[in-house]
Structure 1
Amino acid sequence: MRRPLVFAFVASTCLLSAPAWAQSLKIALSSEPTAIDPHYHDLTPNNALAAHIFDGLTKQDEQQKVLPSLATSWENDGQNRWTFKLRQGVTFSNGKPFTADDVIFSFCRTLKNETAIAGSFADITGNFTAVEAPDPQTIVITTKAPDPLLPNFLSSIAILSSSILPHDKLAFDVAKNCGVTGPWPVVGDFNDGKLAIGTGPYKFKSYTKGTSVELERNDKYWGPAEPWANVTFVPVPNAGPRLAGLLAGDYDVIENPAARDVARIKDDKRFGHVITPSTRVIYFQLDVEREPSPLVKAENGKNPLKDPKVRKAMSLAIDRDAIIKRIMDGAAEPAYQFLPNGMFGALENPPKLAYDPAAAKKLLAEAGYPNGFQITLSTTNDRYINDSQITQAVAQYLTQVGIRSEVDAMARAIYFPRRAKKEFSVALGGWGSTSGEASSFLKQWAATPDEAKTIGGSNYGGYADPEFDKLIRTAITTLDDAKRAEILKQAGVKVIEGGAFIPLHFESTIWAYKANLKYTGRADQFTMAMQVKPAK
């Protein structure tokens, strides 16, 4: 009999008494969460906020190692069946006990969420054929195919209280509405806090879009009590006012001060800072499918982005080192693939993506565009570090080789829904590996979408390569780590060679804070009150 793969993590359930200090904490964010609904959009600011109010079955530490949360242990049968043992004695912030029913309810909601952006989180639960509860403290998940990273992925799915909706007996039967007898909640139903019921270390207090999110300590939390009685997140999209607020004492912690200001912070004994490399790759996604493409104008009326030579020319036209030095102030690393070197499934020494404008012009001529063409680069102006400035720089580089480029920068609340509707031809993106390995980007962005949207959910540019699809589909169902890593490397090479995605750099994240505090930076770029502790 084949022995199952066993992942035995057991965490203490001891509750600690509330600390003697009961202070308020104010954090200035560079990018505001777009909703309180934890299933609305798989977006870093949203997921970071959700982690304060809600728990998943698992969680990830600052280096993205998977740890227990609402599940204390899990095991795989060597194929496609996972068994999770749930933490006992946990209650939601409204006093309702946490059981397996809440897990089933939450998984169902990700598949019945009509306001979700780009099917967020349904790419995980869409791979489930069954979710069963043999008893109130056990969940058994059967997947369509082996899913070696399921514990990693489940860290991102917030568990809601099934008490927020009327229901009969709950069952993972989406066709029959899972036993829910009323309408499923939409994003707006969470923003007033009525449905923001979780088991996390904090409770929802208030949300005013563009102004603040206020939380208060959850005294019913199953884990150690947090030192902060109240936490306020304030969106401050411009780096200058964020730093000014820290210097004036208005904020206790700020995220992403400009790298050029780090020396100023370092020389001031009133403050500390930490710089943490992240897995977030900044890249452009090209429309390589449509003829013509909506925001491209060429003399022949075609879509030049469909030509691999044009795509390679665009990459050659970009000076990544100059962008990192002049715009990112050195707080980034050039990206020649979609996951940093040394991480699972990444190439150890990927070939450098060179800056060679002369070669770019030659390739454009060979492709039939000696006079270039016109294009619009679409970007956020309030999501990634220096996002619109980066896009402006790339536009100038492309214009220098004959690709006359304009920039359309917009707020992410407008940008992401438009990108999901495929309204752009060249779109800036940023992706941090939710699983800490290479399949995260490859299966979400580069795979040909399947009917259930479990892969390819963000393939807005229409990239399609049957050989790559075969590799990525094999990789994400391979339980043997060594074999999976090798297949992921092959898949990564395919996508780089295809040129439909042009990687620029990996962000580093900077946090600055008052000297009486200490902060542990995270590779996933989450800014979390739970990482802030008194220095003494």
Structure 2
Amino acid sequence: MNFKKKTVLALIGSALAAASFVASAVTLRIGNQGDAQSLDPHSLNESLQLTVVGNVYEPLVTRDRNYKLAPSLATDWKQTSPTVWRFNLRKGVQFHDGTPFTADDVIFSYERAKGDGSDMKSYVGQIKEIKKIDDHTIDFVLNNPFPILPELFTQWHMMSKKWCETNQATKPVDRRKGIENAASFRANGTGPFRVRERQPNVRTTFSRNGNYWGKIDGNVEEVIFNVIGNDSTRVAALLSGEVDVMEPVPVQDVARVQANSALKVLQGPELRVIFLGMDQKRDELLFSSVKGKNPFKDKRVRQAFYQAIDIEAIKSRVMRGAATPMAILLPPQVKGFAPDLAKRLPFDVEAAKKLMADAGYGAGFELKMNCPNDRYVNDGEICQAVAANLSRIGVKINLEAETKNNYFPKILRRDTSFYMLGWTASTVDAHNVLYPIMSTPGDGGRGQFNLGAYSNPRVDELTNLVASETDDKKRMEMIREALKIHQDDVGHLPLHQQAINWATKKNIELVQWPDNGMPWKFVKLNK
């Protein structure tokens, strides 16, 4: 047999094998209201983004089925001194392109995550430097003691130094500036799934990584992630069988989906709290009829906004009961939650009007409110309800509700006066709220998502103390004090803890993490 004939037969054999795989592959079809804005794991600290790319890229420390810490690209870790942690890296791991994973990739990923354009600075902000002991041993040298460092690493994903340098992707995709690079559309991780085809905001197809270093408990070989923004269309796709899993289930459709014998609804409290933020730094708001001053610098105005919002009506009418009103920015499931601070200020329109008048704004004013309409559960409808509430105290809201692809770059640039945000404490610890949300914006990711620049020196001081305190009782007292100060300042306007609502076919087993994460390696489709 000549070489040419052998080659043709080999190609035919490869094609038949590929066709056979496609025909027999266990495929999971997901319908989601939004898409990952980029495949770059350092570009956006947003839970949907992280849950999608977290199936392709991996951190040093991960979470197991029960959301407990577990080894990932690090096999183990320990403190060798109060400010030094030694991590042993997993040997034999390859990126999807076959390049070995080593300490150099960790050091590169650190520099990338702390650099310009990164949305992940708060996850590496405690690190002073990384010392390479050998290719699979590194020491993290910290600025100060930080006993929960491993918990912080679960969302910091490792990238290939070689691949990023080859593809001119050494810096993160910067959504604030509209800067893209190869990491926006292509991916090279170590995770259990590879990106096969990418159509942003339409569909992305993933295939199982045949060279994955770890165990994949599920049987899914292919994932088709479909973006279906319209709630009715997404529900129809599930009911017709076009998708196997969908999230979120619109709260108004939960009962309808539950009534279908072929489907099941998976519900649970999410670690996320939805809140409103206000520009408290500028001397004049960017988007307001008030000129020459900033009303939000006055606590009375902030409190008036708070007390004008009918949170129970939002819970019952907008959220159909699938929300728990909150008085602080962390839910009961997060370590540091203070039950004695859980009571909200009363909804009281007359009291709010008096506060506005006392502050010199009795006649009200106009204000633009920025809001996403495809990120959180009924986010656009919540903002409409808030706007209607505030009209009762003379505040005319010019609501700008838009897709998160436009929304996040804008508010992350702080081009906003009044905005909605949701925050999940991925470490399940209050520090992950104090540091990025309630601290004065500064270096190392401090206050990176405190987009209205709320600032109280005592909160900053307590946040530093909380980071290094090892006595649990003292630490809880410090957290409570910081939360109380922030609450008394009306630093933000807490709304509610939203519930997770997923729906699947009954033959599907999956893991629903409380941060709304869906790890595909645990998904199993039964016949």
If the length of structure 1 is used for normalisation, what is the TM-score? 0.88
Counting only pairs closer than 5 Å after superposition, residues 320-331 of structure 1 correspond to structure 2 as 320-331=311-322
Residue aligning to 1:257: 249
The amino acid of 1:97's aligned partner reads P
The yes-or-no answer on 1:50 pairing with 2:53 is yes
Note the C-alpha offset of 1:494. Answer: 1.1
Residue aligning to 1:237: 229
* Closer/same/farther in 2, CA of residues 305 and 201 from structure 1, 3 Å limit: same
Residue aligning to 1:416: 408
Choose 389-398 or 121-130, whichever is displaced more. Answer: 121-130
* Closer/same/farther in 2, CA of residues 237 and 482 from structure 1, 3 Å limit: farther
The yes-or-no answer on 1:510 pairing with 2:507 is no
Select the residue among 507, 520, 524 that pairs with 1:529: 520
Select the residue among 83, 94, 105 that pairs with 1:80: 83
C-alpha contact 2:273 2:494 (8 A) present in aligned 1: yes
* Closer/same/farther in 2, CA of residues 64 and 319 from structure 1, 3 Å limit: farther
Residue aligning to 1:463: 454
Residues 469-509 of structure 1, C-alpha deviation per residue, up to 9 Å, x if partnerless? 11112112223333222211111111111113101001111
C-alpha contact 1:472 1:491 (8 A) present in aligned 2: yes
Residues 28-73 of structure 1, C-alpha deviation per residue, up to 9 Å, x if partnerless? 1122110011111111111111111111000124654321111121
The amino acid of 1:243's aligned partner reads V
The amino acid of 1:104's aligned partner reads I
* Closer/same/farther in 2, CA of residues 327 and 184 from structure 1, 3 Å limit: closer
Within 2, Cα distance between the matches of 1:181 and 1:321? Answer: 50
* Closer/same/farther in 2, CA of residues 138 and 287 from structure 1, 3 Å limit: same
Residue aligning to 1:134: 133
Within 1, Cα distance between the matches of 2:471 and 2:142? Answer: 17
Counting only pairs closer than 5 Å after superposition, residues 270-285 of structure 1 correspond to structure 2 as 270-285=262-277
* Closer/same/farther in 2, CA of residues 61 and 329 from structure 1, 3 Å limit: farther
The amino acid of 1:519's aligned partner reads L
C-alpha contact 2:58 2:189 (8 A) present in aligned 1: yes
Residue aligning to 1:109: 112
Select the residue among 470, 481, 486 that pairs with 1:495: 486
User: What SS class does the counterpart of residue 77 from structure 1 fall into?
Assistant: strand
User: What SS class does the counterpart of residue 272 from structure 1 fall into?
Assistant: strand
Note the C-alpha offset of 1:437. Answer: 1.5
C-alpha contact 1:26 1:232 (8 A) present in aligned 2: yes
* Closer/same/farther in 2, CA of residues 429 and 65 from structure 1, 3 Å limit: same
C-alpha contact 2:122 2:435 (8 A) present in aligned 1: no
C-alpha contact 2:390 2:397 (8 A) present in aligned 1: yes
User: What SS class does the counterpart of residue 247 from structure 1 fall into?
Assistant: helix
Note the C-alpha offset of 1:166. Answer: 4.9
Within 2, Cα distance between the matches of 1:420 and 1:165? Answer: 25
The amino acid of 1:109's aligned partner reads R
| Higher relative helix content | 2
The yes-or-no answer on 1:205 pairing with 2:204 is no
Note the C-alpha offset of 1:82. Answer: 0.6
The yes-or-no answer on 1:425 pairing with 2:417 is yes
If the length of structure 2 is used for normalisation, what is the TM-score? 0.90
Residue aligning to 1:94: 97
Select the residue among 8, 11, 25 that pairs with 2:28: 25
* Closer/same/farther in 2, CA of residues 480 and 22 from structure 1, 3 Å limit: farther
Residues 406-450 of structure 1, C-alpha deviation per residue, up to 9 Å, x if partnerless? 211122222222212222111111111121111212211221122
The amino acid of 1:277's aligned partner reads P
Residue aligning to 1:374: 366
Note the C-alpha offset of 1:246. Answer: 0.4
Within 2, Cα distance between the matches of 1:47 and 1:150? Answer: 19
Note the C-alpha offset of 1:24. Answer: 0.9
Residue aligning to 2:183: 190
C-alpha contact 1:273 1:512 (8 A) present in aligned 2: yes
* Closer/same/farther in 2, CA of residues 518 and 199 from structure 1, 3 Å limit: same
Residue aligning to 2:393: 401
Note the C-alpha offset of 1:122. Answer: 2.1
* Closer/same/farther in 2, CA of residues 408 and 530 from structure 1, 3 Å limit: same
Choose 136-145 or 414-423, whichever is displaced more. Answer: 414-423
The amino acid of 1:143's aligned partner reads L
Consecutive unaligned residues of structure 1, counting only runs of 5 or more, are 1-17, 168-179
C-alpha contact 1:64 1:524 (8 A) present in aligned 2: no
The amino acid of 1:308's aligned partner reads K
Within 1, Cα distance between the matches of 2:435 and 2:309? Answer: 26
* Closer/same/farther in 2, CA of residues 432 and 76 from structure 1, 3 Å limit: same
Note the C-alpha offset of 1:293. Answer: 0.6
User: What SS class does the counterpart of residue 344 from structure 1 fall into?
Assistant: coil
* Closer/same/farther in 2, CA of residues 63 and 362 from structure 1, 3 Å limit: farther
C-alpha contact 1:345 1:485 (8 A) present in aligned 2: yes
Choose 127-136 or 422-431, whichever is displaced more. Answer: 127-136
Within 2, Cα distance between the matches of 1:206 and 1:222? Answer: 23
Residues 375-430 of structure 1, C-alpha deviation per residue, up to 9 Å, x if partnerless? 12111112111111110100000101222222111222222222122221111111
Note the C-alpha offset of 1:333. Answer: 0.8
Note the C-alpha offset of 1:260. Answer: 2.3
* Closer/same/farther in 2, CA of residues 101 and 331 from structure 1, 3 Å limit: same
Within 2, Cα distance between the matches of 1:484 and 1:519? Answer: 36
* Closer/same/farther in 2, CA of residues 426 and 481 from structure 1, 3 Å limit: same
Within 1, Cα distance between the matches of 2:375 and 2:355? Answer: 33
Residue aligning to 1:153: 152
Residue aligning to 1:5: none
Select the residue among 471, 495, 499 that pairs with 1:480: 471
Choose 180-189 or 340-349, whichever is displaced more. Answer: 180-189
Choose 504-513 or 99-108, whichever is displaced more. Answer: 99-108
The amino acid of 1:217's aligned partner reads R
Within 1, Cα distance between the matches of 2:312 and 2:65? Answer: 27
C-alpha contact 1:281 1:504 (8 A) present in aligned 2: yes
Select the residue among 430, 435, 439 that pairs with 1:447: 439
Note the C-alpha offset of 1:342. Answer: 4.7
* Closer/same/farther in 2, CA of residues 258 and 192 from structure 1, 3 Å limit: closer
Consecutive unaligned residues of structure 2, counting only runs of 5 or more, are 1-20, 174-179
Within 2, Cα distance between the matches of 1:60 and 1:514? Answer: 25
Residue aligning to 2:382: 390
* Closer/same/farther in 2, CA of residues 442 and 65 from structure 1, 3 Å limit: same
Within 2, Cα distance between the matches of 1:454 and 1:143? Answer: 15
C-alpha contact 2:511 2:519 (8 A) present in aligned 1: no
C-alpha contact 1:256 1:510 (8 A) present in aligned 2: yes
Residues 278-325 of structure 1, C-alpha deviation per residue, up to 9 Å, x if partnerless? 111111111112221111223x74321111111111100111111111
Choose 524-533 or 276-285, whichever is displaced more. Answer: 524-533
Note the C-alpha offset of 1:221. Answer: 0.8
Note the C-alpha offset of 1:106. Answer: 1.4
The yes-or-no answer on 1:333 pairing with 2:324 is yes
Residues 126-149 of structure 1, C-alpha deviation per residue, up to 9 Å, x if partnerless? 432221221222121001111222
